[in-house]
Amino acid sequence: MRSELLYHLDYSSWATRTLLSACAELPPEELERDLGSSHVSILRTWRHIYYSERVWLKRLQEDEMPPLVEVGDQSLFQDSPPEPELQQLQGVWLSLSQGIKQYFESLPDAALKQELTGIDCAIPRWRLALHLVNHSTQHRGQITSMVRQLGKQPPNTDVFSCHLLYP
C-alpha cells in the first residue's frame, strides 16, 4: 500500500509543478479573471489547493482532526491578505509536497491504517492521502479548463504522462 500511496503523491506533486509552470506564463489579469469556476479564478483555485494541502499536512503532523464542520471551511486556514501570488506558490509548493511525502514515508505500516480522529469524524491516514491527491486533481482539472477558456493549451497532466516520465 505504501508504494502505491507514494506513487500517487509523487504524481500529484509532478502534475502540480507542471501545471503551475504553465500558468506562470499567463499575465496577472488572466490569472485573476473571473472564469465562473468554483473558486472564481485560476489564482484563487491554486490558493485553494495549496491551503488544503498545507492544512492537511498540519493536521496529520499534529495528529488532530478538526470538527467536521471545519474540514472544508477555507476561511479557517487561508492566509490573510495579501495572499500569495503564483510565483510565491511555485516557491513554497515543492517543500509542501516533500513534507507530505516524507510524512507518509515515515509512518510505520500499521499507522497508515490508523485513523486520524476528531470529535465527530475520523478517516484512515491512507484514505486521507488519496483524498489529498483526488482533491488536488479535481481542482487542477478546473484550472486546465480555465486555461482552455483563455484560449491557451494546458499541458497534459494525466497520470499516464507522469508514468512515462517517472516509471
Query: Do the Cβ atoms of 90 and 24 come closer than 8 Å?
Result: yes
Mean pLDDT computed over 102-117: 95
Percent of the chain's residues with pLDDT above 90: 84
Over residues 110-135, the pLDDT tens digits come to 999 999 999 999 999 999 999 999 99
- For 114, the domain range is 2-165
Query: Do the Cβ atoms of 162 and 11 come closer than 8 Å?
Result: yes
Please report the DSSP string for 77-107 in residue order.
TSPPSSPPPHHHHHHHHHHHHHHHHHHHHHS
Domain total of the chain: 1
Query: pLDDT-derived band of residue 164, with 50, 70 and 90 as boundaries?
Result: low
Domain CATH for 44: 1.20.120.450
**Residue 91 CA: distances (Å) to CA of 16, 50, 87, 88:** 12, 12, 6, 5
Instruction: Tell me the average pLDDT of the chain.
Output: 93
Residue 106 CA neighbour count, 13 Å, CB half: 8
Over residues 19-78, the pLDDT tens digits come to 999 999 999 999 999 999 999 999 999 999 999 999 999 999 999 999 899 888 888 888
Statement: residue 163 has pLDDT above 80? no
Over residues 63-92, the pLDDT tens digits come to 999 989 988 888 888 899 999 999 999 999
